[in-house]
Amino acid sequence: MRTALICLVMSCLAAFCSYTLWGLSELKTLPKDVSRVDPAEFRRVAMEWIEKNKTDIVNGAPVVPAVPAEEGDNYLLAHSWRFVPLFKMKKGRVYRLRISSSDMLYGLSFYKDGLNFKIIPGYEQIITISPREAGGMPIFCNEYCGLGHHLMTGRIVVED
């Protein structure tokens, strides 16, 4: 009985330590730059940027080649159960995304990078990402946002 108790305590301690270290290693992906914005103004600026830079439309969503961080910022707008635009990025390049919602609370998850956070109307979050492998990088809402939650997806196409 004593040996079983010691094994249980050691297992719990190992799990706690590994989850803590994993969590700390992910802190570098958390948004460090958050500021207040007017949701309608953010939507206006984001949609103007998207219209100016779009190169294609796929399933009704604009496609925009992302601008590397050293050249400027990119806008990702969450609204009406979708993320716009769809991005094309180059593997290994660094990109800054300005992210906000114009209508309600959403979640954002970059599945392959382990990046998860809330998108709150009235707040702009700036994150930096660097795709590590070519192919599709799905993004999806990880916060229940209503009847259209299952439609709340986006995609980043990563090219070599």
pLDDT > 90: what percent of the chain? 55
CATH topology for 31-159 is Immunoglobulin-like (2.60.40)
What pLDDT, on the 0 to 100 scale, is given for residue 114? 73
Any idea where the domains of the chain sit in the sequence?
1-28, 31-159
112 closest CA partner among 135, 87, 89: 135
What is the token pair recorded at 132? 């590590």
Q: Reduce the secondary structure of the chain to three states and give it as a string.
A: CHHHHHHHHHHHHHHHHHHHHHHHHHHHHCCCEEEECCHHHHHHHHHHHHHHHCCEEECCEEEEECCECCCCCEEEEEECCEEECEEEEECCCCEEEEEEECCCCEEEEEHHHCEEEEECCCEEEEEEECCCCCEEEEEECCCCCCCCHHHCEEEEEEEC
What pLDDT, on the 0 to 100 scale, is given for residue 9? 58
Q: How far apart are CA 84 and CA 154, in angstroms?
A: 7
Block means of pLDDT (10 residues each) for the chain, 160 residues, are 67 54 45 87 97 94 96 95 94 95 92 80 93 90 90 91
Residue type, 79: H
What pLDDT, on the 0 to 100 scale, is given for residue 2? 75
What pLDDT, on the 0 to 100 scale, is given for residue 7? 61
What pLDDT, on the 0 to 100 scale, is given for residue 15? 53
What pLDDT, on the 0 to 100 scale, is given for residue 27? 39
Please, which residues have CB within 8 angstroms of residue 151's CB and are 6 or more apart in sequence? Answer: 81, 82
Q: Are 103 and 149 in contact (CB under 8 A)?
A: no
What pLDDT, on the 0 to 100 scale, is given for residue 31? 59
